[in-house]
C-alpha cells in the first residue's frame, strides 16, 4: 500500500536542497510533531479522559487555563528540552522563557508557541490548534534570554500550526511555500495533502466577532457596514460573515478558500492595543499568509515588520486575502482609529 509522501520524507527532501544543512531543523520538526501527535490523541480522547474543564489556574495573560492547555504546554516542553536543537522556548502559557535544564545541550534555534489556541472551545468540541514559530538563536548554545526572542516576524526561520478537527492537519512553511499534511492515525504519520497552498487574492467572506461592534474603531465600523451592504454598497459584491472563535480554525478556512480575519483593537479595553499575541499568533500566521500569497497587518503596518517590545505583546490583526487586507488598510487611512 502506498501511503503517500510522509512529513519526514518531505523534510528530508527539502534538507537535501541545502548543501550546508546540519539536520538540526529536520530533527527539531520531528520532535515537535511527536508532541503534536500526542496532543492530537489527547484532544480526541478529551470526552473520555479527565482532561476537559478548568485547570484551576490562570496564565500570564490572566486567562483561565484549561486542563488541555497545561497538558499541551507540558508535552511540547518535554519533547523539546533534552534534544539539543533549541536554546530556549517561549509559550503563551508561561510568563518567562523556559530554560533548558542544566546538563542538556542548547541548540541554535528558539521555539515560540501557543500550545492550544482556541482552548475555550474544547468543551464544546470545536476545532482548536497548536501554533508555532521557529527563530534563530542569536547566541547558539547559550541559555536564551527574553531579548533573544524579540525578533521581528520577518526573521522567522519557519512557522506553522496544527488544527485538531475532523482530521488532524499540520501546516508549515520555511519560506518556500506553505504545505499541508494530514495525520493518518492508522500509520501514525503525517501525509502530504496539499503542496504550495495559495490564498485567493479576492474574497467574499470576512470573519470577525460582531458582538464587539459597538467598541470598534471607526475604520472597522465602516468597513463592516460596507460589507453588509453587499453588491449595492461601496464594495460592489455580497459578503458572507464567518466566525469560529479559534484563530487556527478561522485562518485554516481562509488558507483553504480565501477570506479575511479581523481581530481589531477595540474600546472595551482601551488600554490594550489588541487581543492576539504578536509572537505566538500574529507573526507565525502572518508568515504563513505571506508565503501563501496573502497579507497580514495590524490594520496599517505589515505585521512581520513590527519590532516586538515584550514577550507577550498584543496587537490588532487583519489577515487573509491580499486585496481585502489592503482594502481594510485604506479604510484606516480614510476613517482613522479611535
Burial of 77 from C-beta contacts in 10 A (0-12 / 13-18 / 19+) = buried
Instruction: Please indicate if the annotation marks 189 as binding a ligand.
Output: no
Give the separation between CA 335 and CA 12, rounded to whole angstroms: 49
CB proximity list for 279: less than 8 A, separation 6 or greater: 90, 112, 133, 149, 308, 311, 312, 313
Instruction: Please indicate if the annotation marks 281 as binding a ligand.
Output: yes
Instruction: Please indicate if the annotation marks 117 as binding a ligand.
Output: yes
CA–CA–CA angle 158, 150, 94 (5° rounding): 85
Length of the chain: 338
Specify the DSSP element, H or E, that contains 32. helix 24-44
Instruction: Please indicate if the annotation marks 2 as binding a ligand.
Output: no
Closest CA to 261 of 325, 311, 329, 307: 325
169 within 8 A of 183, measured Cβ to Cβ: yes
Instruction: Please indicate if the annotation marks 92 as binding a ligand.
Output: yes
Instruction: Please indicate if the annotation marks 49 as binding a ligand.
Output: no
Instruction: Please indicate if the annotation marks 310 as binding a ligand.
Output: no
144 within 8 A of 88, measured Cβ to Cβ: yes
Give the separation between CA 79 and CA 111, rounded to whole angstroms: 12
Instruction: Please indicate if the annotation marks 23 as binding a ligand.
Output: no
Residue stretches of the annotated binding site for substrate: 117-120, 209, 275
Residue stretches of the annotated binding site for Mg(2+): 92, 114, 116-117, 281
Residue stretches of the annotated binding site: 92, 114, 116-120, 209, 275, 281
Amino acid at each position: 500500500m502506498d501511503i503517500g509522501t510522509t512529513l519526514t520524507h518531505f523534510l528530508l527532501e527539502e534538507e537535501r536542497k541545502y548543501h550546508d544543512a546540519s539536520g538540526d531543523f529536520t530533527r527539531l520538526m520531528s520532535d515537535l510533531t511527536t508532541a503534536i501527535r500526542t496532543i492530537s490523541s489527547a484532544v480526541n480522547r478529551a470526552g473520555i479522559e479527565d482532561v476537559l474543564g478548568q485547570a484551576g489556574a490562570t496564565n500570564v495573560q490572566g486567562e483561565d487555563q484549561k486542563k488541555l492547555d497545561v497538558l499541551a504546554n507540558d508535552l511540547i516542553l518535554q519533547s523539546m528540552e533534552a534534544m539539543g536543537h533549541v536554546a530556549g522556548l517561549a509559550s503563551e502559557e508561561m510568563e518567562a522563557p523556559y530554560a533548558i535544564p542544566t546538563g542538556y545541550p542548547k541548540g541554535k534555534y528558539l521555539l515560540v508557541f501557543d500550545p492550544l489556541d482556541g482552548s475555550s472551545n474544547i468543551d464544546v468540541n470545536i476545532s482548536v490548534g497548536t501554533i508555532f514559530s521557529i527563530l534563530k538563536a542569536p547566541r547558539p548554545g547559550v541559555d536564551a534570554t527574553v531579548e533573544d526572542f524579540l525578533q521581528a516576524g520577518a526573521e522567522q526561520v519557519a512557522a506553522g500550526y496544527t488544527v485538531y478537527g475532523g482530521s488532524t492537519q499540520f501546516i508549515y512553511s520555511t519560506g518556500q511555500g506553505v504545505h499541508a499534511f494530514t495525520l493518518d492515525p492508522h500509520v501514525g504519520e503525517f501525509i502530504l495533502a496539499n503542496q504550495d497552498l495559495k490564498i485567493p487574492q479576492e474574497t467574499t467572506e470576512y470573519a470577525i466577532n460582531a458582538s464587539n461592534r459597538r467598541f470598534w474603531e471607526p475604520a472597522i465600523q465602516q468597513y463592516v457596514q460596507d460589507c453588509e451592504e453587499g453588491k449595492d454598497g461601496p464594495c460592489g459584491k455580497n459578503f458572507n460573515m464567518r466566525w469560529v472563535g479559534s484563530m487556527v480554525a478561522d485562518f485554516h478556512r481562509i488558507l483553504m478558500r480565501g477570506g479575511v480575519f479581523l481581530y481589531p483593537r477595540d474600546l472595551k479595553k482601551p488600554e490594550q492595543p489588541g487581543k492576539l499575541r504578536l509572537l505566538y499568533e500574529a507573526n507565525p500566521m502572518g508568515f504563513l499568509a505571506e508565503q501563501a500569497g496573502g497579507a497580514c497587518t495590524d490594520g496599517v503596518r505589515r505585521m512581520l515588520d513590527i519590532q516586538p517590545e515584550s514577550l507577550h505583546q498584543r496587537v490588532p490583526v487583519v489577515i487573509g486575502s491580499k486585496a481585502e487586507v489592503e482594502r481594510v488598510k485604506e479604510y484606516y487611512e480614510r476613517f482613522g482609529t479611535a
